[in-house]
Amino acid sequence: MSTEETRVKQSLRSRLFLPALLLGTFLVNMYRIFLSNALVDVASSLKVTVGTASQIFTIDSFVGLIVGITIGFLAVSFKHKSLYLLGVAFYVVGVLGAFFAPDFASTLIFVIFLGISYTLVGIMVYALVGDFLPLEKRGMAVGLVVAVAFLANVIVAQATSVITNAMGWRAVLLWFIFPIAVASLLLGFFVLPSKPRQEQTANKPQYLEAFKQVLLNKSALACQIATALVILSAIVSVYAVSFYILHFHTSLSTASIFYSVASVAGILGVLVGGRLINRVGRKSLTIVTGVIEGIFATLIVFVPNVWASAAMWMVSAGFGTATFAGLASLSLEQVPSFRGTMMSINASFSNIGVIVGVSISGLLLNLYVNNFQILFVMFGAAGVASAAVVFFFTKDPCKNQLPSAA
């Protein structure tokens, strides 16, 4: 009887494994989306300008860059489940701290906790997928992880609007984000499997070997560079709403609808991409979708009609998320012995893409008086360049390993 109960428990944990990771992914995206939508209210409450309040994103990205490098070391000697739970715990503390923070300076302290969590959990989600799911299921799992991040974009934006209007922005943190953080922590603790790290050939953790295999491996390093370029290209979503308001003189509500529809297109794109990974291959999917995403990202600002422009954005968003799903899956398989380190460095390159992209974009807009054409040409070129890097410098280690390919 006890054996039967054990099997039932193991079966239940197995079924809840991916949902637990997806909930963690949803969670760590919540604060950024909340802040994007409640930025004016937050700035007013903390008695700073909107421009000053927006620097929370910059601090968040710099923290993520540092954490990505640090976790590259820690992932060698610590269990991935433990690091995942630590990241979620940081999020719980960060959300509560941001709720109680009386001023902007205090808020920044807890933003550091949230920045650590965002990167740490994101890294460990991919590492755990690689550790415990069979190869034929990893592609779809990665697709679902990216899709959930976009689903959060849709749900959290609407919830933030409703709760903020009814009870103020702090209520979003306490009554919406905090309960999900606690639920994610408990689900991860009871559901995620925990096993010792794979035996190392040496008695001490191979920190140097982990970084050496990632950074001196041409294909693995190319995946990192391509990731930074893909993220830079994805900054389209940061400036698209402003483009529609300033160039086509659309209302904020109309531009926001475009944003939501683009997010839905992103969800569709990543789900389709996740299903195609095993059929067309990680590398091929990344190359084809990257080129298409880059072309349509550029076309957004060159078509004369607002509806045609919005259609270009939808296509770009759909193919862009498929690109990210393919590239994330390709990156995950590059150095199987040190997946945690590989995805940690990958997260750092993602943050580099954000920092470089946002910095250059702001500079170009100031220098050329809101000339979005220059901006979106850069985004499109980054998307095509990512495809070129993958085409010329990467290899798919799993190309001939899938059952369908046998």
Is the pLDDT reported for residue 219 higher than 50? yes
Cβ neighbours, 10 Å, residue 259:
20
Query: Rounded to whole angstroms, what are the CA distances from 196 to 76, 131, 200, 216, 339?
Result: 11, 11, 11, 27, 14
Confidence grade of residue 203 (pLDDT, cut at 50, 70, 90)? very low
Is the pLDDT reported for residue 120 higher than 80? yes
Long-range contacts of 374-377 (CB under 8 A, 24+ apart): 375/239, 375/301, 376/236, 376/239, 376/243, 376/297, 376/298, 376/300, 376/301, 377/298
Average pLDDT over residues 251-256: 71
SS3 label, residue 69: helix
Could you tell me which residue, 381 or 256, shows the higher pLDDT? 381
Tens-digit pLDDT profile for residues 149-164: 888 888 887 788 788 8
Check residue 170 and give its pLDDT.
Answer: 94
AA letter at 118: Y
Check residue 133 and give its pLDDT.
Answer: 83
Average pLDDT over residues 105-128: 89
Q: By mean pLDDT, which of 320-324, 334-338, 382-386, 387-391 is the weakest?
A: 334-338
Residues 255/245, Cβ–Cβ less than 8 Å: yes
Check residue 3 and give its pLDDT.
Answer: 55
Check residue 201 and give its pLDDT.
Answer: 40
Is the pLDDT reported for residue 210 higher than 50? yes
Tens-digit pLDDT profile for residues 167-187: 989 999 999 999 999 999 999
- Dihedral Cα 103, 105, 108, 113, nearest 10 deg: -90
Confidence grade of residue 400 (pLDDT, cut at 50, 70, 90)? low
In order of start, what are the domains of the chain with their CATH numbers? 8-192 (1.20.1250.20), 206-398+401-405 (1.20.1250.20)
